[in-house]
Every structure is written in C-alpha cells, then in structure tokens.
Structure 1
Amino acid sequence: MAMTLECEDRVQYACSCATFSSLVYQYFCKYCVKIRCPECATTSVDSFYCPNCFDTVPPLEAKSRKGRCKNCLKCPRCSCALSIRSHVAALTTSPKDHSSKKQDSMLSPRKPMGRSASVGNVKGDIKKLYLQCNFCQWTTRQSNIPDAKNVSEFQEAATSDIHKRVSELVIRYKKIALQDKAERDKAKLSRRLKQHMALLETTSKLDKASLISSRSVPAQSLDLGKDPLEGVAAEASPDPEPLPPNIYADIPQLDEVLGLRERLQSPLKCPHDPSELRPQPVLILGKRLRRCKGCDHILCKSEYNPSSVRFKIQQVALHSVPSVKVSRPVELSVDNENSVILSFNNPYPHPITISFHPCLDAALLKESGFKNFAKVTIPDGDYQVSGIDDALFEDSFQEQDSQSSLGGNPEYIVNKTAGKLALKFLVTPTKAADDTKICFIFKFIAAVPEKADEYRTLDVTTVINLGQATVA
C-alpha cells in the first residue's frame, strides 16, 4: 500500500499574484476562475459577538463600549470567565431601628409562634452576590470588593477613576476640535463676504435685492464657552510619594507579587498588589469575511449565529483545484533519472481532464525565491481522472475505468482509482542539495454540472519539494 507523503511546505501552488503557498490556505473564485491567496482577498468584519455568552453585538454598540461585553467579566489572574456565586446575608439594623421595632411590637398584639414567625425572619434576609473563578479560585472578596445585589455593580468596580479621567479628556479635546472647526468656518465666511461685497459693487441696483436674498448666509454661533481644558489639566505634585524604606532589604513573597501579564490586563491602573486586582470585561470578537479583489464576490463567510462553526459560503481551493501528492518515498541520485510517482485527486463528482506543460517563466521562479530545481520529464497527452460518487463503491469505478480509455501515454500511468490518478515523472537532479524541487504547469478542464456547455479551465503552476539528492 502506497504511503502518502503530504506536507504543507512540500507541494505549493501559485496564485494570481504569483505567491506560492499550500492549497489549504488558498481560495478559488468561481467568477474570475482564479486562485486567490489571503493577500489577493480583502478582509472585513461581518459581525461582532461575545465569546462567553455568544450574544451578537451591533457595530455601533461595540464601538461605544470599546470592544467589551456589557454582561461578562473575566478573571484578572487567568483570564477565564467569572461565575456568579450567591449567599444569604442577614440585614444589620441600627439601635434606633431596633428600639422603634421593639415599641411597635409592644403596642401590637402578640403573634403566635410558629410558621409565621419563621417566615418573618426569612423576609429579613437579603441575597448578595460575588464573583468567583472556577479555574484559579480567585474571588472578588480577595480584592476587598464588597458583595453586591446586582452584577452591574461589579461592572462599575471594573472601571477605575482613571477611566473617568480619560473619558473627560476625550470630551474636552472634542470641544477643542469643534472650536478649531468653528474658527476655520469663520475664516471661510469672511472670505465669502468679501467676494459677495465685491460682486454687489459691480451689479446694478435692481439685481442687488435678488442677489442678497439668494446668497445670504445664516449666522453661526461661535461661542463655545470657557476654556475647554479648564479644571482637567494635570498638575505635577511637588513631593512625589517615596518608596518604602525596606524595599531593597525585604525578601519578596512570590504569592503577593503580580506578574507582567496580570499588570498589563489593566494598563491604565497597572496594579502591583493582589488586593488591587479588579475583574476585567470580556473582549468582543468579530467574524470576518473575505472578498475577491477582482470581482468583489464573497469567498468565505461564516454563519451569523455565534455558536455555529459552519460556513454559509466557503470557496476553498481544496474543493475546486486538483491536489497533488507524493505517493511514495523518493530517493534521488545526482545525474540519474529517478522515477517520482505523483497522485492527482479529483475534487469534483464528475470526470476532469488534465494535461502537463513545462514552466518556462524564469522570472516567476526567481521572484518566488525557490532554488535547486531539477530537470523533469513530464507526461505528454491528456489524462482523464474519474469523479467521486458517494452512491457507488470503488470496485464499480475500477470496472468502469477499465472499459474506458484513460488517454495520454500509458507508460506514465501507474495506478487509477476512484477520483485519483497516479502518474510517473522522471526527475534528474543536477547537483546535490537538501531541498531538490521540480516545477511544472498542469491544466485541468472540468465541466460544470449545472450547465452542460460550460467548462472550467485553469492553468496551475506547481512547485514540489522532493527532498535530498545525493551523489551516487
């Protein structure tokens, strides 16, 4: 049984921009009938979603929330999602409330002890929430964050005072931008008024009224108030906070020292002590789609549902272009003809016809950066590769192929199975090298099953790395 040697870097194909890569990383545009690599396609974001709760987020909301989910929080230590834990806490009353309740109980008739009294005690309890990580067992209580009644209170705890200051600065600088724009508009208005007055001097008195009414410019308010940066400008303190006196003498405890990853999760605050850690909001992810640069059609698009891993459109080159594989191990010797068996797989359910041509474009191979090419004798003629039909077995294909003509030179045909054709290539290395390569162009013609008169023809430049060549 032949062993298939398949590797990403062993067989590479040229796309429309002369970039060589594996077939699994390329796309096939059925409108342009060309192979497209990721550089030949434009990438855009189709939708936003939260990876924890799988809620779709509109683009405007994702931009306003700075790419963070409004419901989910993650652990500041291990970045895992935090889960909500609840407990029942008793209400604490002040002495005044206690005395007033005691007087009310003395005036009111006494209630019998029993079920009603126990229900009254339950009504006095309150439900509190706190967050806990199921992986590293971190809780909000370790950071001295009080228990809350709602999860939204933890969202407020995640935003520090520095976030508020940054938002204030953004608002103030937007006001400065509006003020600069108003000054530019005022300068344009003054130039228009000068041109308008010059035009009025040259016109007659009868046309002045109509000209003034048609070219009148509404007045604009340029007063934006006081200085936009007043009250927000930072002031340097004259006496900075000194370092602890025993900072160089004390031996640090690793359990109380935060790592670089934990500090950079909140870069605005950059905590140093474990008690300063705060839960971080989960970042929103985006589903991307790729379009062809030539015709702007979609090459790859996933489902809109965030929990689905399927694709609505997936024009991968592996499903449209025949793949080439090295069927058997190769031992190359310099200045000798070595037989290399390559198998061609048909991705279509109907037969295709392939033919081979030598690659004479030296500039393409030079730009690609490949070296150590060997001489190769390619099979001549056209060869037919049968399609794969799931409803039939492989034996029925072999009986059908034995009766039909395969075409081409039968000396190069090694094996023929359902959807696969193995051919023999003669390779002669010119020098000893660790990465001897061959290059050729194969042309395949496939009929489109929806349209009987339409054929799909494509020339694919292929470079195959056959491995080490030794001196005999």
Structure 2
Amino acid sequence: MDFLISQNYVNYVCQCGLLKPLTNLYFCRHCLNLRCSFCCHHEVDSHFCRNCLENIPSSEAKLRKNKCNSCFDCPSCSFSVLSARATTIQVPMTVKEKQEGEESSTTTSEASSGKMVAKKMYYLACLACRYSSRDVGISDQASQNFCWPEQEYMHANRFNTILNYYQALVLHDKQVKQDEKRRKTTNKSKFQSMTDRTGLNVSAIRRQMGFDKTVSKPKNKPASILPSMTEEVEELSEDIFTKPINLKNITTIEQRFTQPANQPESVKHLYPQHKNLSIKRSIRCRHCEHNVIKPEYNPTSIKYRIQQFASSHVPEVRIIKCYPLMPNKSAFITLKLTNPTMNDMTITIMELPTDDEEVMMIDEMKKNFESLTVSSKSSLMRPSLIEDPRIVSCKPTAKLELPDSSFVINQRDDSAEFDDEIQTDKKDPKFVIWRKANKIAIELSITPNDLKVNDEVIVGFTMHYTYSTVPSTTAEKKDSQQRHALNARVYLNVGNIVDYSTK
C-alpha cells in the first residue's frame, strides 16, 4: 500500500532551499525551476462571496469592509451559513377607498377591516445548530432580500474617530515624504536656465517676490485624539464567586472573537455576522515575472487559464515498501515514480551535492539574478522581495546505493490507467521491478548510519530528468520541441530505526 505523499515522507527542494511536498510547489516554464509560495508573488484578481457567488469589484469590496451584504455566518457554530426561512402571520386586511374629486387629482386612504389574512414573513435560521435571528430579538422581515438590521455598537463613534485620525496621519506622512523627495531631487546646474522674456531664472524671480526657498511651509498635522481613560471603574457584584454559572448561556472565546467590536458575554447577544468575501488570486514568479497560476475571472468557474503545478511537470516519487531499518545494515526500499507529462522521460538518480558545491550553486544563482535585474530596466517586482537561496537544512542519515544506469518512463496515457496488466521489459535494468503505463517501480538499497532506536532515517538523492517544453502530439511538433535536462533534489523519510536486539 502506498504511503500518502506528505511533508513527513517525500519532500522536494525548492530553488530557494526550502523543503516542500510536490503538491505545494509550482513549476515555472520560463525559468524551468521549482517555485514555492515564498518564491512567488501573490496578486488578488477578484473578490466574490462563496455562498451567493456574487462578483464584487475591489473598490466596492473595500467599502463593504470585505463583507457580503446578503449572506450571514452563524454566530453560534461559526461554520454554517444562515438561510432565510419563511413563516406566516395573521394580519388585518386593509381596504382601499378612493375618493375622486377633480380629474387631475386623486387621493387614496387605507382602512383596516375586521377580516384577518395570512402574510408571509422571513427570518434567519441555522440548519446545523438551530440558531435563529429571533433568539436575539430581530423582527421578521417582509422580504428575504431585505437589508437586515445591523447591530449597534457602543464604541462605534470611538472606532470611527480613531480610524479617521490614522488615515489623516498616513496622508500627512506621505505628503511630507513626497516633499522631501522632491526637494532632494532638484538638479542644480552650473549654467543658469534663462527664460525667454525676462532673462531671469526661477530662483531669482522668487527672491524678488519675497519668497525664501529655505523656509518651508508648515504642514497641517491632524488634530490629536484624546485617550479613552477613565477613573471610574464598575465594581464587581458581591455574588460573582458564589452565583452558579450555566455554561450553556456563556459565549466561548471563538464566538467572542467573531464579534470583536462587541464581544458578547451571553449567548442572547450573538447577532448574525456578514460573511467574509473570498478572493481569486494569481501567482507570479518573482524572478521572471511570468504567471504560474491564473484562474478564471468568473467565480462560478473552477478552471484555470494558466496552471503550472509541479505535480504536472516533475516526476512524482512515492514510497511503496521499506524493510525494517537497523543501524549499519543494508535494507531495501521500493519507490514508485510517475511521469505526468505527455513525453517520455529519461531519469538518472545521482548523489546530492556537497556543502561546497551547494554554496557555489547559490553564488551562481545570485550572480545570474543580478545580471538579469540589471539588463531588464522595467521590472514589475522589487528585488528586495525575492527569497534568498539558502543551504538545505535537512541532512541525510543513511547512505543510498545509486543505480548503475538510467531508465526511461513512458508518457502519460489516460486510457492505460484501466489496464490491470503489469508490463515487464527485458531491457530494463535489474533494479526496475515493474512498469505500468507511465509508472515504474524501482528497488534501491540503503544503509542507515549509526543511529539510535526510533531515530528517523532520511535518504536524499538528485533526480536528473528530461523535460520537453512542447507536447509531442504530432510528427511536426516532435521536431520543433525543445528538450531540457533538469534536476530535482528529493528527500525521503523512510521510517524509524527498529529495536534490532529483538530481531
């Protein structure tokens, strides 16, 4: 049985030196390197509500405070959405009496008769925990699309005052920085710039008019806000330690954090909360500034315009079987490799680079990036945001016996997935156990170091594989496709050392 690919079993080395599973990595087809989330720039494309699927512009989402106006989260269970439930009430029927006077004017008056009629009303209810808007005293509404009453907060004016103050403070600081930058960037030339008519430069005109450029205009700072301090503190009630507490009526920490402005202590004050908006984001490589992930703009679509996941371009390694591991004793491990591309791959397993070789690789990467940054004048991303490469922190604790030759994995064939027959080829090396469609199983020998019982055994190797940029679907494209030789460092956690004294 295959182990699930996760952080504890199979990890790939990103270009920046971090260990990530293959499902958390991206592959840049322009750089031909693996990228993690730190090596990519995340951009927000659109805002939408995942309940009603309403697409909201970014400017409007900012005004709404990233909340949906029509959808509400349950404040009690915090994981369900409140739905509008219909009910009927008895109300007196109204009779309209028209009084006609002149032809140009008519008046209408309503009077209630004694007859009762049914009227449909709506309220919010949770289908998971049976919470309803009636529990907090919110009256039923005549329409389910009607704006439900908002909760009034005691410190709302105080929050708005603080928000306006800091917004004005940010604008003031931004204006001061712009003025300083404009003052520093004045180009002084040894030749006076004469005007056409007067023959005077700007500085001379300012001196004649009485303006002194050394004196700057005072900036209007925003008025400071008064601190909210009070000397009067309410005293605790005398029965606070003796009064019995019903935990069903007291809110939890999670329920209070969902309403940070009010933080109710009782369940009776849990008001419905507007649902947070979701986003669709595109992921861009920081080095070449090309998109690796680009979703569709429509919130109802789950497709991608561009999807360059590493699992669709890099061979996947999984652990099938591992024999008991003992210190300084060889054991066999069975790995399954899968080719996700539409072209055959030639794979060679090599040793990991040493520390000196890894340092040289990092220095070469930095030099290549600096030369690329200097050559490209218009850059969208700042070089300071790029993750610096580092040495891999994980170190192998076992020696891997490398295979003596390379092997080929067939291209991906969706129709062959339903074929139960396991193929064998006499030309395959001895370490190849079986092959099926685009999958192949190999058996390697590992020797753990002098470790203690229950210590983790980590094995690493460099996987050298061939990658084709253009799918070879026709004979014409086969000649035009470009093949590249790429490397991927893989670290495997094959298990723990067993107690060899009992074996």
TM-score greater than 0.5 by the shorter chain: yes
TM-score (norm: length of structure 2)? 0.70
Of 145-154 and 270-279, deviating more is 145-154
Could you tell me how far apart the structure 2 residues matched to 1:239 and 1:337 are?
Answer: 76
Cα distance change, pair 149–333 in 1 and its aligned pair in 2 (3 A): closer
1:182-205 deviation digits (Å, cap 9, x = unpaired): 99999999xxxxxxxxx9xx99x9
TM-score (norm: length of structure 1)? 0.74
Q: Residues 451-470 of structure 1 correspond to what in structure 2 (within 5 A)?
A: 452-453=479-480, 454-469=482-497
1:452-471 deviation digits (Å, cap 9, x = unpaired): 34103211122222323465
2:322 matches 1:301:
no
1:213-253 deviation digits (Å, cap 9, x = unpaired): 9x999xxx9999xx967xx9577667554444433332123
2:34 matches 1:35:
yes
1:429-462 deviation digits (Å, cap 9, x = unpaired): 3323432232222211134324534103211122
Query: Could you tell me which residue of structure 2 aligns to residue 368 of structure 1?
Result: 392
Could you tell me how far apart the structure 1 residues matched to 2:143 and 2:411 are?
Answer: 61
Please state whether the residue corresponding to 2:461 is helix, strand or coil: strand
Please state whether the residue corresponding to 1:142 is helix, strand or coil: helix
Cα distance change, pair 348–251 in 1 and its aligned pair in 2 (3 A): same
Of 26-35 and 119-128, deviating more is 119-128
Query: Could you tell me which residue of structure 1 aligns to residue 362 of structure 2?
Result: none
2:110 matches 1:82:
no
Could you tell me how far apart the structure 2 residues matched to 1:184 and 1:386 are?
Answer: 61
Cα distance change, pair 330–301 in 1 and its aligned pair in 2 (3 A): farther
Aligned partner letter, 2:460 = C
Please state whether the residue corresponding to 1:452 is helix, strand or coil: helix
Q: Percent identity?
A: 25
Could you tell me how far apart the structure 1 residues matched to 2:270 and 2:329 are?
Answer: 69
Query: Could you tell me which residue of structure 2 aligns to residue 379 of structure 1?
Result: 403
2:2 matches 1:4:
yes
Query: Could you tell me which residue of structure 2 aligns to residue 435 of structure 1?
Result: 456
Please state whether the residue corresponding to 2:321 is helix, strand or coil: coil
Could you tell me how far apart the structure 2 residues matched to 1:154 and 1:244 are?
Answer: 39
2:151 matches 1:158:
yes
Q: Residues 164-179 of structure 1 correspond to what in structure 2 (within 5 A)?
A: 164-171=157-164, 174=167
Aligned-residue offset at 1:378: 1.1
Aligned-residue offset at 1:41: 1.5
Could you tell me how far apart the structure 1 residues matched to 2:175 and 2:465 are?
Answer: 64
Aligned-residue offset at 1:33: 0.8
Could you tell me how far apart the structure 2 residues matched to 1:338 and 1:172 are?
Answer: 68
Aligned partner letter, 1:415 = W
Structure 1 portions without partners, runs of 5+: 94-100, 105-118, 190-198
Aligned partner letter, 2:449 = T
Contact map agreement 1:386 1:418 (CA 8 A) in 2: yes
Query: Could you tell me which residue of structure 1 aligns to residue 266 of structure 2?
Result: 273
Aligned partner letter, 2:467 = A
1:367-425 deviation digits (Å, cap 9, x = unpaired): 433345322221233322222323458879988x748x55xxx3333323322233332
Contact map agreement 1:351 1:385 (CA 8 A) in 2: yes
Aligned-residue offset at 1:151: 6.0
Aligned partner letter, 2:75 = P
Could you tell me how far apart the structure 1 residues matched to 2:58 and 2:465 are?
Answer: 43
Q: How many residues align?
A: 432
Could you tell me how far apart the structure 2 residues matched to 1:442 and 1:184 are?
Answer: 51
1:128-180 deviation digits (Å, cap 9, x = unpaired): 44322222222333222333445687544234353344224434665677788
Query: Could you tell me which residue of structure 1 aligns to residue 60 of structure 2?
Result: 61
Query: Could you tell me which residue of structure 1 aligns to residue 339 of structure 2?
Result: 346
Contact map agreement 2:43 2:283 (CA 8 A) in 1: yes
Please state whether the residue corresponding to 1:438 is helix, strand or coil: strand
**Aligned partner (choices 415, 420, 431) of residue 434 of structure 2:** 415
Could you tell me how far apart the structure 1 residues matched to 2:179 and 2:418 are?
Answer: 82
Cα distance change, pair 183–66 in 1 and its aligned pair in 2 (3 A): same
Aligned-residue offset at 1:294: 1.5
Larger radius of gyration: 1
Could you tell me how far apart the structure 2 residues matched to 1:261 and 1:422 are?
Answer: 48
Contact map agreement 1:324 1:342 (CA 8 A) in 2: yes
Q: Residues 59-458 of structure 1 correspond to what in structure 2 (within 5 A)?
A: 59-79=58-78, 80-86=80-86, 87-90=88-91, 128-149=121-142, 155-171=148-164, 174=167, 206-207=198-199, 240-362=233-355, 367-371=391-395, 373-391=397-415, 402=425, 405-406=427-428, 410-433=429-452, 434-447=455-468, 448=470, 449=472, 450=477, 452-453=479-480, 454-458=482-486
Could you tell me how far apart the structure 2 residues matched to 1:348 and 1:186 are?
Answer: 56
Cα distance change, pair 91–385 in 1 and its aligned pair in 2 (3 A): same
Could you tell me how far apart the structure 2 residues matched to 1:41 and 1:186 are?
Answer: 34
Contact map agreement 2:416 2:437 (CA 8 A) in 1: no
Please state whether the residue corresponding to 1:381 is helix, strand or coil: coil
Of 51-60 and 70-79, deviating more is 70-79
Query: Which has more helix, going by share of residues?
Result: 1
Contact map agreement 2:91 2:116 (CA 8 A) in 1: no
Could you tell me how far apart the structure 2 residues matched to 1:319 and 1:161 are?
Answer: 54
Contact map agreement 1:394 1:418 (CA 8 A) in 2: no
Contact map agreement 1:355 1:380 (CA 8 A) in 2: no
Could you tell me how far apart the structure 2 residues matched to 1:279 and 1:386 are?
Answer: 56
Aligned-residue offset at 1:324: 2.0
Aligned-residue offset at 1:126: 5.9
Could you tell me how far apart the structure 1 residues matched to 2:121 and 2:157 are?
Answer: 27
Please state whether the residue corresponding to 2:150 is helix, strand or coil: helix
Contact map agreement 1:292 1:298 (CA 8 A) in 2: yes
1:72-117 deviation digits (Å, cap 9, x = unpaired): 2222222332222343352599xxxxxxx9xx9xxxxxxxxxxxxx
